Amino acid sequence: MDIMLFHSAYGLTPSVEAAAERLRAAGHQVWTPDLYGGRTVGTVEEGVALRDEIGKDELLKRAVLAAAPYSERGLVYMGLSLGASIAQTLALGDEKARGLLLFHGTSDLAESASVDELPVQLHVAEPDPFETDDWLSSWYLQMRKAGADVEIYRYRGAGHVYTDPELPDWDEEAADRTWAVALDFLKGL
């Protein structure tokens, strides 16, 4: 499977490269575009500030340019937190997308969003300050209305970006379960 993996608000950190290596070890081709131009940050607040400095439109433009050379292959779009929102936007706009794998985040959907049974899997903490229960219920219904085949996995007690061993949110058990389910999802595409 060809996977375009977008980093979180922390930037293209060693843990993102480790996630890509995990995917490659399972037999996948993985690209990890650096949407921050080499910059990384150490806190969520710094990540939000950098995201805002660059601008959401510019980040999306960079993501589209990174994915464009490979989109004919039928990509699986994957993202971590901020990267999940970017991956979702690109997958919903790419008729050749093979799947959408989201860790720790979602994004708004356009009313006109439409896909043909796109396989979507979301892994998120429970509770998650950025992905509230009400928001996730609404997101799920909107994704289903758009035509996506959606699975949501919640991890009680985990922190927001719980799959990143470099962060205080790290939860080894939840991360292991997430990766096991996600790798099975990718095998089935």
Model pLDDT, residue 19: 98
Token pair belonging to 159: 């922190």
Residues in the chain: 189
For the chain, report the end-to-end CA distance as a whole number of angstroms.
8
Q: What's the rounded Cα separation, in Å, for the pair 62 and 65?
A: 5
Token pair belonging to 3: 């996977």
Residues 12, 143, 13, CA angle at the centre, nearest 5°? 5
Model pLDDT, residue 52: 97
Model pLDDT, residue 111: 87
Mean pLDDT, each 10-residue run in order, the chain (189 residues)? 97 97 98 98 95 97 98 97 97 96 96 93 96 96 96 97 96 98 97
Contact 148, 117 (CB under 8 A): yes
Model pLDDT, residue 50: 97
Token pair belonging to 125: 């903490």
pTM of the model: 0.97
- Collapsing DSSP to helix, strand or coil, 7 comes out as coil
